Amino acid sequence: MNNQQIETLLKEQLELAEVHVTSEGSHFQIIAVSDKFDEMSRVKKQQFIYGPLKEQIADGTMHAISIKTFSEKQWQRERMFNMPQ
């Protein structure tokens, strides 16, 4: 599964405003943007993102995942510091 496929999966299943995925081998960095995150604890945010990816995690396609979550308002402020290169 490539980065674009992961972005599409997360965006469609979780109804995210934006999602950006970068990877190096089986190590992935995910930036997810949604106002849904305003109401979630840090653990719930992680679980929310992991949910649609459990098959890829279980089969070893995705070994390490770094997740950053932002509300849409936070993302407007943080975008230039966190946008993948």
Tell me the pLDDT band of 84, cut-offs 50, 70 and 90: low
pLDDT at 78: 85
Name the fold adopted by 3-82. Answer: GMP Synthetase; Chain A, domain 3 (3.30.300)
pTM of the model: 0.89
For range 51-64, the mean pLDDT: 91
DSSP 19-81: EEEEEETTEEEEEEE-GGGGG--HHHHHHHHHGGGHHHHHTTS--EEEEEEE-HHHHHHHHHH
Q: How do the domains of the chain map onto residue ranges?
A: 3-82
pLDDT for residue 32: 97
Asked if residue 67 lies in contact with residue 32, where contact means CB atoms within 8 angstroms, the answer is: yes
